[in-house]
Amino acid sequence: MKKTGSINIFTNHTEISEKTRAHLAGKLTDAGYKVTDSFSHETELIICVGGDGTFLEAVHTLDFPQCPIIGVNTGHLGFFQEISPESMDSFISDYGKGEYSIQTLNTVLATVTDRHGRQSRHLGLNEIVIKGRHSYSVHLYISIDGVPIEKFSGDGILVATSAGSTAYNYSLGGSIADPRLKLLQVTPMAPMNTTAYRSFTSSILLPADLSLGVVPEHQENCIFITNDGIETGYTDVKDIKVEVSDTSVRLLRFKNYDFWNKVKTKFL
Ligand code: NAP
Ligand code: MN
């Protein structure tokens, strides 16, 4: 990776994050780095101070930057976040010595096409959620790689990346997927199973080269697409294609990082 000495710190503006930012900026400046508030082509590393929500905000605000990111946890859970405010000295030392690896996380892309052929794209690091308005159920024709699979009825469907499998997906009863697995996990949200409607009740796992097709039964109804918590409403949706995207997010990981150990300490 390109070493320019320029580091961008992104924070949510809570008191603890601001304090951590100031402390970290001082230490980095002493170590010879140039610390900036904005991201540019010169930036060699983004440090994100906050929780997972802040991490996701940084990724979206900076439009899925290709330079590495590292999170300092001052939030609630901090699943993406690698370091604590107390371990900044060892972080700066390990970083300077190049003692780290890069974890590449895949993203999920939803392409929405309306009845007039207009297209909009939404990228998610955690997931894409497709649901109806308020508390109405939705009826969605689901296909895999162009092959019709089911008519889903329920609250909606969630398509998670492996990195997002521990977020909303997990709360819905989806599986935890090791982020080294490049796949999509399609998890039903409150699927209806009656003599009137039949839907799969478990998650479906798709390999990276297969896409999911979603066609709303009633095109005129409002459909909401949410990528990592960012919601957009559509009427007139003809179809939605959901697939693994070429864009990835690169995280800095240090020697003590282990995904399953993180799952254990954060969830159990
Ligand atoms: P939020 O409502 O504050 O997030 C809910 C929780 O999910 C927070 O504790 C957050 O951690 C955690 N989280 C986010 N990404 C995670 C990941 N990859 N693995 C494990 N936990 C993760 O909203 P937010 O902070 O802006 O995060 C947006 C995400 O919230 C969405 O992408 C969605 O996955 C998730 N969400 C979950 C539910 C649910 O579980 N019922 C409902 C809606 C949305 P921090 O405390 O560190 O921020
Ligand atoms: Mn949050």
Give the closest ligand to the alpha carbon of residue 266.
1
Question: Is residue 96's pLDDT more than 90?
Answer: yes
User: In the structure encoding, which two tokens stand for residue 111, read together?
Assistant: 């392409």
Alpha-carbon distance of 39 to 183, in angstroms, equals 30
Mutate to test the pocket of ligand 1, among 48, 73, 77 (most ligand atoms within 8 A of CB): 77
- DSSP letter (8 states) at residue 155: S
Question: Is residue 143's pLDDT more than 80?
Answer: yes
Residue 1's pLDDT is what? 67
User: In the structure encoding, which two tokens stand for residue 104, read together?
Assistant: 């590449």
CA of 229 from ligand 2 middle (Å) equals 10
Which atom of ligand 1 approaches the CA of 73 most closely?
47
Calculate mean pLDDT across residues 217-231. Answer: 94
Per-residue model confidence as pLDDT tens digits over 13-46: 999 999 999 999 999 999 999 999 999 999 999 9
Question: Is residue 2's pLDDT more than 80?
Answer: no
Q: Are 127 and 157 within 8 A, CB to CB? A: no
Residue with tokens 């799969």: 200
Task: Supply the mean pLDDT for the chain.
Answer: 96
Four-residue CA torsion sign, 260, 167, 44, 27? negative
C-beta of 155 in contact with ligand 1 (< 6 A) = no
Give percent above pLDDT 70 in the chain. Answer: 100
Residue with tokens 């690169």: 250
As annotated, the binding site for NAD(+) includes 52-53, 126-127, 155, 163, 166-171, 190
Q: Name the residue among 13, 15, 58, 55 with its Cα closest to residue 39.
A: 58
Per-residue model confidence as pLDDT tens digits over 159-208: 999 999 999 999 999 999 999 999 999 999 999 999 999 999 999 999 99
Cβ-based burial of 263 (10 A; exposed 0-12, middle 13-18, buried ≥19): middle
- Residue 39 corresponds to which amino acid? F
CA of 196 from ligand 1 middle (Å) equals 33
Answer yes or no: 30 catalytic. no
Angle, alpha carbons 116-117-121 (nearest 5°): 125
